[in-house]
Amino acid sequence: MNSTRALWPQIILLVVIITVCVFPFYWMVTTSLKTQIVALEAPPVWLFEPTLTNYFEALFEDGVLQTLTNSLIIAISTTILSLILGVPAAFALARFEFRGKKDLWFWFITNRMVSPIVLALPFFLIARNLGLLDRHVTLVLIYLTFNLPIVIWIVTDQFRGIPYDLDEAARLEGASQITIMLKICLPLAMPGVAVSAIFSFIFSWNELMYGLILTRNDAKTAPAMAVSFMEGYNLPYGKIMATSTLIVIPVLIFALIASKQLVRGLTMGAVK
């Protein structure tokens, strides 16, 4: 049939797309299961005896477990803080009318454009002067610069979609604005809140530069740890890839869960 023949180029193209997207992950995982000797074979081998030693060594001897815990603590704390600060602000932007609202909105959104290095320099000096280097709280706070805007942006949109009649009805019953937000709008806005929380988590978990500059040991994040393997002459490729795998897997799971909204989240502010 003519149409099946026309499908072939499409099928081939799709297979190529999928392969190109997935292959680096395949290579990452297989390399993480190689011993150093196998990993350093030239040309690289595709079939070998897999081993989990890299994971055990990285996690328990090199302290990757600690850095993963740090990353987890920081990402969750900053997400919660962003929600606590961002949800009421989003409610105000969606429901109240006040002067300067547009400017405020624009300011929240433009934080997405600013290069982190611009803030990293002064933040490092301030943290140093206050004795806040290498503390979890420092990263939790600086991550607000990208998490708060994303929460406000997504949740405002969500609140706007909730019919205003519901508010009116509750207000006639004598409910305060805070009660209206918590009891009526928030439950209905949960999908948006969840998506913004996932974003906030992914962005914080993935972040390297601030982690590198603002931590040394105690609060060191997992990506910063992965980078510190790169020092020295003989690179432990298996361990680096094992650590990378551990870092990437939670993000990929979250990203697949939120895959429908991922693009929207990444285009924040640029599409009306």
Partner 1 sequence: MYRQVPRKTIFTFIGPAVIGLAMVGIAPLLYAVWTSLHFYNLTKLKRVEFIGLENYWKVLTDEVFWQAMGRTFFLLGTALPLQIALGLIIALVLHQPGLTMLKTLGRLSLVLPMATTYAVVGLLGQVMFNQKFGVVNQLLGGANINWIGDPNNAFFMIIFWDVWQWTPFVALVLLAGLTMVPIEIEEAARLETKSNWILLRFVQLPFLVPGLVAVLILRTADTLKLFDMVFTLTRGGPGSSTEFISLMIQRVGFRGFDQGLASAQAIILLIITIVLAQLYIRVFYKEV
| Residues numbered 123-152 forming contacts with partner 1, rule: CB under 8 A | 123-126, 141-142, 144-145, 148-149, 152
Q: Which stretch binds partner 1 (CB under 8 A): 8-16, 51-59, 62-70, 183-191?
A: 8-16
- Interface with partner 1, residue 251, by CB under 8 A: yes
Residue that has been written with the tokens 């709280």 in this structure? 137
- Interface with partner 1, residue 115, by CB under 8 A: yes
| Residues numbered 73-112 forming contacts with partner 1, rule: CB under 8 A | 84-86, 88-89, 91-93, 95-98, 104, 108, 110-112
Q: Looking at 11, 52, 80, 190, which residue binds partner 1 (CB under 8 A)?
A: 11
Minimal distance in Å, beta carbon 152 to partner 1?
Answer: 7
As given in the structure block, the two tokens for residue 122 are 């002064």
For every residue of 198-214, DSSP letters joined together read HHHHHHHHH--HHHHHH
- Interface with partner 1, residue 248, by CB under 8 A: yes
Q: How many other CB atoms are found less than 10 A from the CB of residue 49?
A: 8
Q: Are 225 and 67 in contact (CB under 8 A)?
A: yes
Minimal distance in Å, beta carbon 133 to partner 1?
Answer: 12
Q: Are 254 and 198 in contact (CB under 8 A)?
A: yes
- In whole angstroms, what is the distance from residue 144 CA to residue 34 CA? 39
Name the nearest CA neighbour of 59 among 188, 266, 242, 252.
242
Number of residues that bind partner 1 (CB under 8 A): 96
Residue that has been written with the tokens 């105000």 in this structure? 92
Minimal distance in Å, beta carbon 93 to partner 1?
Answer: 7
| Residues numbered 41-70 forming contacts with partner 1, rule: CB under 8 A | 41-44
Minimal distance in Å, beta carbon 158 to partner 1?
Answer: 16
- In whole angstroms, what is the distance from residue 133 CA to residue 219 CA? 9
Half-sphere exposure of 184 (CA within 13 A, CB side): 20
Please identify, using beta-carbon distances, which residue of 111 and 200 lies nearer to partner 1. 111
- In whole angstroms, what is the distance from residue 72 CA to residue 142 CA? 16
As given in the structure block, the two tokens for residue 63 are 């302290």
As given in the structure block, the two tokens for residue 145 are 């610069």
Binding mask 163-182 for partner 1 (x = CB under 8 A): -x------------xx--x-
Q: Looking at 150, 195, 223, 236, which residue binds partner 1 (CB under 8 A)?
A: 223
Q: Looking at 185, 201, 205, 219, which residue binds partner 1 (CB under 8 A)?
A: 205
